[in-house]
């Protein structure tokens, strides 16, 4: 009698395990792959001028470079980083072919979107940040770590099955720059900030 009971229990457990695996496979196959980087940026007259690849944490990251149609002095580069374990400052150290002067690098905070960095080099002013799926931005790794617990409920099932991290480490790395030839630094910073504020609501990771 006990033997029969344990055989039935074992069968039930095996059926449940197989069902769980089947559901997981269906989840992976049926879930559409998202186009993280589009040819255009919503709400803005940006023109795609080239595709960029950079190396972040020894991994090839695909990005795109856009140019504002009405103002060719303003460019924006956007990269999708699926597992960002560093801050924007660390990415800058790996990616830029120049080292920003510390005296020109400032980190600012906006109540609506979060943190971003500003600096200048040569005749250009730059703005850079990491945009999380939460719709908030971060500049340092500590700031980004505060955002990663977003959307835990939707990520719980894939995490239980071992298909994803429970915390969301993905982000868009954004780097904007504008020429200082016809602008003061204050005017350039204002233009970069306004374009970032316009961009953030249009970028979706979820």
Give tens-digit pLDDT for 142-178: 887 777 766 555 555 555 555 555 556 778 889 999 9
Report residue 85 as tokens: 């374990």
Other beta carbons less than 10 A from residue 145's beta carbon: 14
Question: Which contiguous run of DSSP H or E holds residue 157?
Answer: helix 152-160
| Amino acid 70: pLDDT | 74
- Report yes or no on whether pTM surpasses 0.95: no
| Amino acid 61: pLDDT | 76
Residue ranges of the chain with pLDDT lower than 70?
A: 1-45, 55-57, 72, 83-103, 149-168, 204-206
State the distance between the two ends of the chain, measured CA to CA, in whole angstroms.
52
Whole-number Å distance between alpha carbons of 57 and 90: 10
Other beta carbons less than 10 A from residue 37's beta carbon: 17
| Amino acid 33: pLDDT | 42
Burial class (CB in 10 A: 0-12, 13-18, 19+), 158: middle
Question: Which residue reads 């910073």 in tokens?
Answer: 189
Whole-number Å distance between alpha carbons of 29 and 14: 23
């Amino acid at each position: 009698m006990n033997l029969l009971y344990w055989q039935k229990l074992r069968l039930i457990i095996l059926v449940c395990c197989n069902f769980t695996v089947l559901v997981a496979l269906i989840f992976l196959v049926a879930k559409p792959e998202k186009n993280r980087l589009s040819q255009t940026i919503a709400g803005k007259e940006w023109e795609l001028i080239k595709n960029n690849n950079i190396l972040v944490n020894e991994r090839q990251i695909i990005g795109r470079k856009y140019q504002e149609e009405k103002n060719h002095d303003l460019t924006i580069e956007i990269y999708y980083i699926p597992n960002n374990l560093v801050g924007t400052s660390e990415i800058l150290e790996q990616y830029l072919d120049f080292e920003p002067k510390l005296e020109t690098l400032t980190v600012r905070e906006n109540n609506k979107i979060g943190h971003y960095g500003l600096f200048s080099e040569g005749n250009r002013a730059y703005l850079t940040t990491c945009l999380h799926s939460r719709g908030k931005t971060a500049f340092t790794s500590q700031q980004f770590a505060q955002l990663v617990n977003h959307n835990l409920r939707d990520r719980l099932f894939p995490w239980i099955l071992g298909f994803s991290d429970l915390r969301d480490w993905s982000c868009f790395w954004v780097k904007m720059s504008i020429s200082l030839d016809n602008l003061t630094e204050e005017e350039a910073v204002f233009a970069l900030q306004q374009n970032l504020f316009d961009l953030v609501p249009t970028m979706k990771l979820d």
